[in-house]
Copies of this chain bind each other. A is one copy, B any other.
Amino acid sequence: MSRLWNFSAGPAAMPQAVLERAQRELLDWQGCGASVMELSHRGKLFMGLAQQAEADLRELLAIPADYAVLFLQGGATQHFGQIPMNLAGEGDSADYIVTGHWGEKAVSEAAPYVKVNVAGSSKEQHYLQLPPRDSWQLDPRAAYVHYTPNETIHGVEFHAIPEVGEVPLVADMSSNILSEPVDVSRFGLIYAGAQKNIGPSGLVVMIIRRDLLQRATRPMSRIFHYADHAANDSMLNTPNTWGWYLAGLTFQWLKEQGGLTAMCERNRAKAELLYGSIDGSGGFYRNPIDLAARSRMNVPFTLHDSALDAAFLKESEAAGLLALKGHKALGGMRASLYNAVPLEAVQALVDFMGDFAKRHG
């Protein structure tokens, strides 16, 4: 068995210690005689696991008591639609700040359920920067303000939580949740697909201020209603039990690593190392994002000559560096540096990049 350095944007690298533990106990979880996947979600054993995972997440993010934590399905994309279904009444509008591909998608999926007002956008700047806060056209009567703190494809990240007044702030944190401490009380709703910084795909973690659970008024199945999920401890129906289990192991691993302050330092060091290597390559590599908006999680970069892309990908894979191909929308390369990617992996990447530039420069 040999594990390689994995820079996938998602589903992404998971902590090796988490995978090793899951492997050890795959057929017999805690001596119960069955796999954790084979247990009723309503049994005492799984309920204990589920509660521990929530408690650990609450500790990691210092989640206030007036927020519910939900473990849902459907990916962030499903919740692009389900959030307006729950937070906006018929005829309401909501403000969207669009800073890349995922913000655009959040808008198009929400449109059937709410009047979308694109209150701020950097589309005309090709998403190379964030729209300045004073350019946003926020509506104080909006049902909520939605934004994407980190754009996985475009590699832009907010490094401060925007001030939006009394309107609830909704954040798709799929690609940067748990990468640093965050003041949850500034948000109305935080949600994240698990497959980047939490666990395997097929799980969504949501943190929602409890008063917002009462907003839904339109007719819908109970299964789409966040209040019903909250009232049933996310067991309104059978949850993704394997995802929940691995999320719990990941939360424990984060605590062992020193929590989110330690992860934040590590993530900053990793990003500085890679951006430093790009910026110091004399133009061989290039990241075009405004310095103030560069993502610590997803680093897109191009080679000075795109004719070298194929060689870069082939040689990097041979050097044990996986999944560096950029998203098709942008081309070039992308390295994702989520929590589970160690500094050692980024060092190996930077070493390779230097060597490649020397040989092809």
**Residues of A that sit less than 8 Å from B by CB:** 1-4, 6, 8-14, 16, 19-20, 22-23, 26-28, 32-35, 37-41, 43, 73-78, 80-81, 108-110, 112-113, 193, 195, 200-203, 219-224, 236-243, 246, 320, 322-323
- Report how far A76 CA is from B73 CA in the complex, Å: 12
Contacts of A110 in B (CB 8 A): 221
**Min CB distance, A193 to chain B, in Å?**
7
Contact residue among B11, B201, B238 (Cβ-Cβ distance under 8 Å from A10)? B238
> Residues of B contacting A9 with CB < 8 Å?
40
Q: A10 contacts B40, CB within 8 Å?
A: yes
A-B contact list, 18 entries, CB within 8 Å: A4-B32, A4-B33, A6-B38, A8-B39, A8-B40, A9-B40, A13-B38, A23-B26, A33-B322, A41-B201, A73-B73, A75-B223, A108-B222, A112-B221, A113-B221, A200-B240, A202-B202, A242-B243
Residues on B with C-beta less than 8 A from A1 are 27-28
Q: Which residues of B contact A22 (CB under 8 A)?
A: 26
**Interface pairs A-B: 3 shortest CB-CB:** A202-B240, A81-B221, A4-B33
Give A317's nearest chain B residue, CB to CB: B33
A8 to B2, CA, bound (A): 36
**Known contacts A33-B3, A77-B223: A27-B38 contact under CB 8 Å:** no
Indicate if the CB atoms of B16 and A75 lie closer than 8 Å: no
**Using Cβ atoms and an 8 Å threshold, which residues of chain B touch A3?**
27-28, 33-34
Select one of B20, B113, B237 contacting A75, CB under 8 A: B237
Most buried by B among A19, A74, A203: A74
A200 touches B242 (CB 8 A): yes
| Contact partners of A40 in chain B: CB under 8 A | 8-11, 323
Question: Are the CB atoms of A238 and B201 closer together than 8 Å?
Answer: yes
Q: A33-B4, A73-B75, A237-B78 are in contact. Are A112 and B220 (CB under 8 A)?
A: yes
| Residues of chain B within 8 A of A14, CB atoms compared | 35, 37-38
Does A34 contact B10, Cβ atoms closer than 8 Å? no
Residues of B contacting A236 in the complex (Cβ-Cβ under 8 angstroms) = 77
| CB of A26 to closest CB in B, whole Å | 4
Which B residues are in CB contact (< 8 Å) with A38? Answer: 6, 8, 11-14
Query: Given the known A-B contacts A11-B40, A200-B241, are A223 and B27 also in contact in the complex, defined by CB atoms under 8 Å?
Result: no
Q: Which residues on B sit within 8 Å (CB–CB) of A11?
A: 37-41, 238, 241
* Contact B193 A78, beta carbon cutoff 8 Å: no
A2→B77 CA distance, assembly (Å)? 40
Across the interface, do B80 and A221 meet the contact criterion of CB distance under 8 Å?
yes
Contact of A74 among B37, B73, B222, B246 (CB under 8 A): B73
